[in-house]
Structure 1
Amino acid sequence: MSALSFATPAVLAALLALPLIWWLLRLTPPRPQQEVFPPLKILERILKREETPAKSPWWLTALRMALAAAVILALAGPVLNRDTTALSSAGPLTLVIDNGWAAAPDWEQRTETAATLIDAAERADLPVSITFTAETAHDATPESALAAREKLAAARPRPLEPDRARAIESISAALAGARPGTLVFLADGIENDADEPVVQRLSALEPGELRIVEGDNARTVALTAVNNGATTMTARAVRLDAAAPLAATVSALDAQGRAIASGPLNFGPGQSETTAEIAVPFELRNDFARLQIDGIQTAGAVRLLDDGFKRRRVALISGESGSDFQPLLQPLYYIERALGPYADLVKPDNPDLAAAIPALLEQNPSAIVMADVGRLPAGVYEPMQRWLANGGTLIRFAGPRLAAAPADDPLVPVLLRQGERAFGGALSWSEPQPLAPFPAAGPFAGLPNPDDVTVTRQVLAEPVPDLAQKTLASLADGTPLVTMKDEGSGHVILFHVSAEATWSNLPLSGHFVEMLRRLVQLSRSGGVSAESQAAAAATLPPWRLLTASGSLTAETGNARPLTLAPSAAPLASFDTPPGLYGSEDGFTALNLLAADASLAPIDPSAGQMTATRLALAGDTARPLAPWLYLAAFLMLLADSLIMLFMNGAFRRLPKARTAAAMIAALAFLAPLTPDRARADDSRPGDEVILDHLQTTRLAYVITGEADVDRISEQGLAGLTDFLLWRTALEPGKPVGLDITRDELSFYPLIYWPVSASAQMPSPEAISRIDAYMRAGGTVLFDTRDQIGGIDGGQTSPNTERLQAILGNIDIPPLEPVPEDHVLARSFYLLHDFPGRYTGSPLWVEARPDGRNGGSTSLSSSGDGVSPILITGNDFAGAWAVDNAGNPVLPTVPADEVQREHAFRTGVNIMMYMLTGNYKADQVHIPALLERLGQ
């Protein structure tokens, strides 16, 4: 049954004027036809009698009357309503009303629809049972219409998903076996239980009539997940009605509710899931407090953000710069890939840590990761400790450099033993050790047991009373794998294994990614995230709660504190509705929908009985005015065409002619190609740089002592001549370096004659040498005292000066050149490395195993070359020659064969510097051929 109503019925009085309009139209004839009267035309039509009617044709008058009536009816606002007030008398009217988040936009229409049904029940003298699905308590007892109206007026939409199962159970208990008459389900349109659909539950009550009343679901859209990526923040959105395309905007708001960025949200036809992107710098993204869909005011269209969603800036520092030719062996390779999707990674642009670390600290990183960095420059400890006190997190990885570093490093969480695998006694092992299960408390709580991770080498912590409290993860034998100490508001964390897969296979496992991500999350910039607090059970009080319309309110009501437990993500419920839990100093965001949530429509045919699907009260009103206006416009158009025809307008049109073809003119602009002057950006000194780049030169450190510097220059000049004579290398003239200001990166090898009587280099100069070594250069320290020892044995003033210099440099573990080292066979086959003297060993970076091949880390920036060489045999004294090519100093003992071997040592060192692990591969050819069966 249908009913027609009018928004402004008074306008219908204008219909009384239709007879007057009819009379006026009948007395108004068409405009007389105009003719041109040339003589021939008069003679041609003299016998014709042309008449003009005195009145309009009846059919034209009827058309105009219909047009006037359509306009009057349209102005009256006619509305066609569906009558839904007829109720079944077989039982009480039972109303089940969704008042969850999706019902908020059309809540007034829902209450209007329910009120209309209650009025109909009152007229039919039927009791009313009313239940709201998003309430904590239900009273579905049938009662009077007056009581039902009071409950309806007191109801409000909730920022929750409806619990229909509990509501239907309360209805069944209240009816006590009786059947409802008309059961009306005012649904939000979302099916939230696929195992037992709501229509099936309602059908089980066996009502006399089942109706499902829904609103307009076209704008039921929700945000379910947010990802703060490397360049953009993305938000996953789902919708209920995917029939038509939908375009919207996702806005990002700060803590004060100001919109600071936005991105488009577009659904295509049939698309129920899409992603919105907000492309702004991550510093601005870290100010986002919430995302919301503009124009849709629901709790589902809002995604609250806490500190866990902020993208951290993480600085990466390595003990060596690495090589692109062997990326899997770089110290930072696995760290970059573990943290890249979750953090903004920055690296120093200066190998000098004395300058690089302060520059990184100026960028306000949340965390700093150091891979095998031993001793830091003395000047950076104070700013590092200030940064830690303000909440920074320092994550360090062990390695040969850290194992050789002094034990009193303040930026290490525990006291370390010197060396690697220095277990001793009961702590030693003969096979790789697995990891113990992660503790139930701590950042790694909830992670699965690392059964596939094994460790072959590590640095050990001294057994002190508080070692267990500082241990975050350990091996099966109880030795620490990860330790941490608090430093002010920050943390210092140490992995007792290396960052690449040489000491353990931890970097190859999935645990490595999650462990690093959780540790970086400890570097809070203010706030408590569920991710960082889930490590240990925590209880947070409600601070701000989300309303059904998507706004935050300080009225916490009956909300209970939120408990964060390991390995269990918190969920919104009646006791803990969505909102912010904690305090102004730190909070966690609890959102309405899970990250993988979807919206499925209700199927009316899912139950045992067929449900009638209706619209809400406001939606059932179908306005007819647009159709009437359209009909009036079409009639007006028809009237105009008729009048033009009757007035002869179409007869004056010229006969059809062949239209002239249009010729398109194409204009080609010859581009101007003026000569472009080449920019002259040269600067003074560029020719020197170009010469150094084109020519390999040996370099020595200027000590300030004339005799020492003269022997260094003559020695490197003699070695240069020998290289020109015996090898294909053509080095240029040697260069003396002031290490406090000269550029060091041009030279593959720097010879440093150590002199106790020379001025001690400044910390800045030593820091530059340290940076040069990290960047791939090699320094040959020569104490020239036949001792050159660094093993704590016999010393001399020059040796003591060398130890003072090395005390401020992060050097790797050293060893005398083994017999099978590539340095002993890079050009000549050598068994020792004499200079003027022959008693001192040549020290190089220690290898992790007994095989040939170079440095401890095969991924070193020097391509497998040791960054440091130490001797006491006075190489430059043996190489030194005058302008005539005669030796300047005698060997001790006097032996020209020893001098020849000294020159051969210099050649091997240069070949080792310039070819790196290429020569190491060459010396492996016999073993490789043997293995291949050649």
Structure 2
Amino acid sequence: MGFLPLSFGLPAVLAGLLALPVIWWLLRLTPPKPQTEAFPPLKILARVLRKEETPHQSPWWLTLLRLAMAALIIFALAEPVFNPRERISTGGNAVAIVIDNGWASAPDWAMRVASAERLIADAQAENAPVLIAFTVDAPNAEIGPFDAEAARERLNAAEARPVPVDRAATYERVAQALAELPNTSVAVLSDGLASEADDAAFDRLLANAGGLIWATPQGVTEIGLTATANEPDAFVVEAVRPTADAGPRQAVVAALDDRGRRIAEAQLSFGAGEAAATAAFAVPFELRNDFNSVAVDGEAQAGAVRVLDENSRRRRVGLIAQGDGDEAQPLLSPLHYISRALAPFADLVEPSSADLGSAIPELLEQRPAMIVMADVGTLPDEAHAALTEWVEGGGTLVRFAGPRLAAAEPDEDLLPVRLRIGERALGGTLSWTEPQAIAEYPQGSPFADLTPPADVTVSRQVLAEPTADIVERSWVNLADGTPLVTGARRGDGTLALFHITPQATWSNLPISGSFVELLRRLVQLSRNQGPGNAQTGNGEATLPPYRLIAADGSLVPPTPDARPLAVSTEAAVTIENPPGLYGTEEGVVAHNLLPQDATLEPIARPETPLAVRDVAYGFDEQVDLRGPLFAIALALMILDTLAVLWLGGKLRRPRAARAVPAALALALIGAISMPDAHAQAQGEETDIQPGDEEAIAAISQTRIAYVLTGDSSIDAISRAGLEGLGRFLSAKTALEPGEPVGVDIAVDELAFYPLIYWPIDEGSEMPSQAALARIDAYMQDGGTVLFDTRDQFGAGFDAGSASPSTMRLRDILANMNVPPLEPVPDDHVLTKAFYILPEFPGRFNGSPLWVEASQTVEEMADRPVRVGDGVTPIMITANDLAGAWAIGGNGAPMLPTVPADPMQRVYAYRAGVNIMMYMLTGNYKSDQVHVPSILERLGQ
């Protein structure tokens, strides 16, 4: 029995409310406990005129309090539930839950899990086993049957995946399991989108089922990106949505760079009843070249993201000429002006050989977007066939005329038009014509929106044979109507021919700005044919995963189950090859989720003679009220106890009887509102976050840090040594450092300390890659690490036979970006930072102090101090500096020097002072030597 939004698990208990009148009658007849008082005669005489009676029944407010307490207990025993949900009865021997966890389920995955949890809870109430399967899962994944707890663990371990669902394979596995569990209820929790062969798969799934529970989202509103195109005037994105009968819808598509920064956006508009739309980024080509991905705002799923590779960015262009030209006269080289025009916006590749038979295959192996041939006549047969196949497969071939091409036999396969043998001269001594200017670009030409140059003329050209389609193939014409640039399609590729040479011999076009515009437009029309550095294994080109698209549409590092992508064929998006970028930093290939011809259609409930129950996704919002009701009843019981004590005289106060009802009411309100008040008090706490006090203490005073090695004796010497150095600094300099700090390089913040002392111990655990990366970042940001192997009597840092500590240091530095090193030169700033020091001893003497090598080969003659700006990020010694600095509680040295020379310890302290002064002041000593020269020049 129940009524919304409140229901009761045991409604029969509510009959106990009928006993409330009896309880009220009993409470009214129960007088309070008589008050006991002493028998002073004077007090009796004082009250002799008062009429004092003992009440024969409880006060009305106490009776009301007890009735409320009894009613609350009755309501609690009836198991009340606020906003109850309807229990879904499995109605069979078991329940099989099939859940779509593909890309379309990511936005409402938490709601889908909550719905599945309700089904598991209802199956548990009926002691029914549970089968649970996911449509994006490994073929060998276990599907049950499970008990309720195991099914919940399986459900909580699952997640949405950025790949299409495979319902056919999943339904087949569940159908095989149901053959041994007849009369099982099947619950299908779909993502709302139809896939191929759904009807046949449903038939196999429901063959042995006892009933169907069907769950779909309330509305299917996903937007998927299917294609991108970097057109000459804009970057175009194509998108689809699930239904064609929906109303108008608008969305914003954002373009992101390789760091995820938003650099452009465009409007995506679906008209009423339209299932497809396009968005255009009308931004400069240079900005479009930085697009790394495009994504639809507000769509937290992988289908709304599309990554871009070289085909959408900078193109590879191969250059080839039949003659090398004169190196002494580069302006006459056939590729000089082409290279200058293409270099700012294309990657240029040239063959290592001038032989066309080997040069053309070498270029084709680089998979260029476009190949430019300057005055190339007849091609070898094998090169001709390979180049023709490349063009028909999508390549762009741009050819320039010249004497060789003019004298060669016409080649219809690799030329957009048939050419006449020979060339046409304009404006020569034997010609009646003048050099021709360039006419307006024809409509339909790739250059139609460009402005033709007014100062360009052509004095010589090769002529095309007049044909019926010569007008359509003419992209640029001269003023007399003869073609200057022709073009045509060949398969999926493009052929273009400049009827002049690429040098400024037949025309001054190559030395004009229009030449750059024309070539740039042709590059924009081209497409890279693939990565140039694919790895080869087992005869198949593969690329490792580089950046992958997560289920929520974000770009993440490769997951452990991702495998290299085979680029020789159109690879499908699977768990092993999820969508994303494959390759390396040198080049990547985009592997996107939705193909260009993808459509999104809502899924239809299968036609079946079984009993079907439709349920909606949603969170379980029901609230069990038993706990709150029992808590309130307990609070009322405490108030009743206090009231009885007060009536018995234990808690009575003078002239307070009339205020008791109000006091009890206030106490009840306070008991109920206490959690809110506590929460409010917590919300009003100070804004200081955990760790802020340590950070403030670390930066309020200069401190030296040391690395905690895990060996208590080594760490104690490091701390004592830095304390001793701190005392010496306070006594000899204006610096008063704070207490030294031991840091764990894996977790502690390192940026607070200018210098970190790291004693190397071969017995300590090797730092993790993440910890070494933090040390590397610390040094790159301006910090310095002083490595001390403390093994001067073992082996030197660069010795052939190294000590264990030195070998451990080498292992550490092998995983870091360490600059070139050198022993401290005699003219280094470190030798003059405070004291004049020829060496840097510690407990031992003899090991040099290694620092970053000077980057300047030649120093100025009047600059005696080397290493100009900056401070070395690394120092290495084996002299055990901390051992020489360490002092005990009585101020005496803790360790002897070797040899036992008192001045060696003094020089060790001075070495520490110079290191600290150098760290804190940099190259100020180097700058000081220039003061006289600067003052002299200012005087002039």
What is the TM-score of this pair, normalised by structure 1? Answer: 0.40
Higher RCO structure, 1 or 2 (CA under 8 Å, sep 6+)? 1
* TM-score, with length taken from structure 2: 0.39
